[in-house]
Amino acid sequence: MPNQRWVRLSTEKATSTLHILGTELCLDICGAAPSAATTFDIWATLGLNFSVDRNTEESNLSFYAPRWELDKTVKVTVTMDAPSIEADEEKIRISYYKENSKIPVAKAILHITCVEISLDADINRSGMVTRRGKQKSQWTWGPDGRGAVLLVNCDRDTPGAEKEDNKDTELKSDLDRKDMSCMILTAHGPNEVFQNHQLILHISEVEDDKVGVFYSQGEMEKKHYKHVLGSGKLSYKVERDLDQVESVFYVEGLKFPDIDFSGLLAFHASLLESTNKEIPQAPIFTDTLVFRVAPWVMTPNTLQPISVYVCSVDGNDDFVAEVRKLASKARCKFIICPPEENRMDRWIQDEMEFGYTQAPHKTFPVVFDSPRNRGLKDFPFKKVLGPDFGYVQRDLPPEISPSSLDSFGNLEVSPPVKVRGKEYPLGRILIGTYFPGNFNRNMSKIVQDFLHAQVVQSPIELHSDWLLVGHVDEFLSFVPAPDQKGFRLLLASPSACFKLLKEKEEQGHGAAKMFEGIEFPEGKAHSITEIIADRSLRNWNEYCQKCIDWNRNILKRELDLTEKDIIDIPQLFSPDSQKSSAVAYFPDMVNMVVLGKYLGIPKPFGPIIDGQCCLEKEVRHLLEPLGLSCIFIDDYSTYHLLRGDVHCGTNVRRKPFSFKWWNMSP
């Protein structure tokens, strides 16, 4: 139903009003009628359309109508089909009659000027502004949904700039402009109207710190952009030149959705009637346009890798060389963070998580900087942030210290899944939290709130506090699979490891030892028989298996997995020095880096049987039928002994999903 505006009439003098194209004028027929009048008729010029509606009877008329009885149920509406060329060029006359009289007792004459006021953006999500779109004040999800999308302008397009582009109120380059969404205000009608009325673009106070708007002024090479809304500016009187029909604005998001921000932003274009300087302006019409700020989206292991990051620190040259070879096989860009930038912090997975943000007209990667703030704390901001590469961070309050669970080895995302009929086309975020009775460490609420607020990758909480480091990447990973499911969940499995070792002992290989050929400062290289006979070790691993099984059940339920979707990777854990939490007994093989079909797996240094590591052989047996290539990397002294492995020491940026987030139904 079109917007309607009530218009009062006068029989004392001719009056004028504005009609906004696409709306209806409702005439106050009864309010102006003389007390003796019982009927009325209508005459109008050619440019007007009007209808008379009384109860259930309705007539659509052009120029002349028979008389109608005056009744409070009578409704007269007027529309026009195009903006006026001149002010007051159309006219409608209401003539009032006494009963049985042919001569009107009074006449009300209304001059009408039609103007077009429309605030438009890409509500069809095609990459182009949708002109005169309908239902633009609403935002709906799904492939048939409508509503404009806004990017957080969190990259840094200007070399040498000290902060992200969303932290200033300037638009200096085409690169910066292309990160923004175009918004066009159409104001079409006689110049006289806009000289005597004010056109205001405005937002609410709660949106002031979430959006920035720039007004495009000038022509071609002389074009410049004026900051008009946001950062303390709630309204802007639109500066319109004579005969100017369109005003072009560029809109940037300043904040991602969060616990206190749904992501929806409303812009209003209001036409105000000027009466005189002593009386406030009266509103005539408001057009409202709603944007949704695009979320930050994580990328799972099943997406194609683009670049691999690793830190160069003392003693890890061989590790860096092996990861370089792996990246080369996968045809990925290889990026080294040098010592002067990592300050001897090798855990690059823990420092940051790569994702992206996307609108119909633009997609760019965004790095999420964790609050752990150790040696690598400046690397994401100083070296990753740049042109078309965004940055976001959630800082903890000064009184709160980050825990190990705030590191982003504790942040993963599943491939796309369908769970009890509900689609998760972008997968689901996985975070590790505590189980009552453990250390009660947790990922900070401020980080969890941010992840939940993105909406499109509904987070799942797992139990990871049983581990000393406490990260989900210590007991799970995902690898691609060439079937309809598209992936397999890998889970560390003490049960599978003891089963394998028992089989080898029964085959006569009980004397084969772990850790052959490496220095082992924590004790001697135990044989298969000694490991199996170690009751304390078995007890610890039974406990670890129960913790993993708890998570297994959660993952099966929340990702709708069956047992055939899960592969158990042999792995043992041992107690930490305080005997209060678990660490990997040998390099943790699920803590791998996945680059397409190439898997960089921590070399486990398992018992050598018939010239092969039996653990490596078993993992190949489990994964190679999926078309995967298992490449074992020695990280024992440089990562494993420091309580991390290959995944902890690497990071991967991946291609975005082909699926567009706005086409889903959260």
Q: In 3-state terms, what secondary structure has residue 15? A: strand
Helix (H) or strand (E) holding 197: strand 197-202
DSSP conformational letter for 513 = B
Cα 270 from Cα 287, distance rounded (Å): 6
Q: Do 50 and 92 form a contact (C-beta atoms < 8 A)?
A: yes
Q: Do 411 and 448 form a contact (C-beta atoms < 8 A)?
A: no
Q: Cα-flanking dihedrals φ and ψ of residue 348, to 5°?
A: -70, -25
Cα 649 from Cα 349, distance rounded (Å): 6
Q: Tell me which of 369, 473, 635, 645 is the catalytic residue.
A: 473
The per-residue b/e assignment along 268-279, b for 16 or more CB within 10 angstroms, e otherwise, is bbbbbeeeeeee
Q: Do 281 and 287 form a contact (C-beta atoms < 8 A)?
A: no
Q: In 3-state terms, what secondary structure has residue 176? A: helix
What is the token pair recorded at 208? 């002031």
Map 119-172 to HEC letters.
EECCCCCCCCCCCCCCCCCCCCCCCCCCCEEECECCCCCCCCCCCCHHHCCCCC
Burial zone of 421 (CB within 10 Å; 0-12 exposed, 13-18 middle, 19+ buried): exposed
471: annotated active-site residue: yes
Among the listed residues 8, 235, 204, 3, the one whose alpha carbon sits nearest the alpha carbon of residue 117: 3
Q: How many CB atoms lie within 10 A of CB 220?
A: 5
648: annotated active-site residue: yes
Q: Do 255 and 294 form a contact (C-beta atoms < 8 A)?
A: no
Q: Tell me which of 188, 471, 509, 640 is the catalytic residue.
A: 471
526: annotated active-site residue: no
Cα 632 from Cα 626, distance rounded (Å): 17
Q: In 3-state terms, what secondary structure has residue 633? A: strand
Q: Tell me which of 311, 332, 544, 648 is the catalytic residue.
A: 648
**Radius of gyration for the chain, computed over Cα atoms and rounded to the nearest angstrom:** 34
Q: Tell me which of 122, 350, 465, 588 is the catalytic residue.
A: 350
Residue with tokens 């039974």: 542
| Angle (nearest 5°) at CA 222 between 219 and 225 | 85
Angstrom CA distances, 430 to 302, 452, 464, 600, stand at: 15, 11, 11, 21
**Amino acid present at 215:** Y
Which residues have a Cβ under 8 Å from the Cβ of 102 and sit 6 or more positions away? Answer: none
Cα 284 from Cα 275, distance rounded (Å): 12
Cα 79 from Cα 81, distance rounded (Å): 7
Q: In 3-state terms, what secondary structure has residue 444? A: coil
What's the number of CA atoms in the CB half-sphere (13 Å) around residue 202? Answer: 13
**Amino acid present at 375:** G
Cα 124 from Cα 429, distance rounded (Å): 28
Among the listed residues 381, 390, 357, 379, the one whose alpha carbon sits nearest the alpha carbon of residue 310: 379
Map 299-347 to HEC letters.
CCCCCCEEEEEEECCCCCHHHHHHHHHHHHHCCCEEEEECHHHHCCCCC
Q: How many CB atoms lie within 10 A of CB 232?
A: 8
Cα 25 from Cα 40, distance rounded (Å): 18
Q: Could you list the active site residues?
A: 350, 471, 473, 648
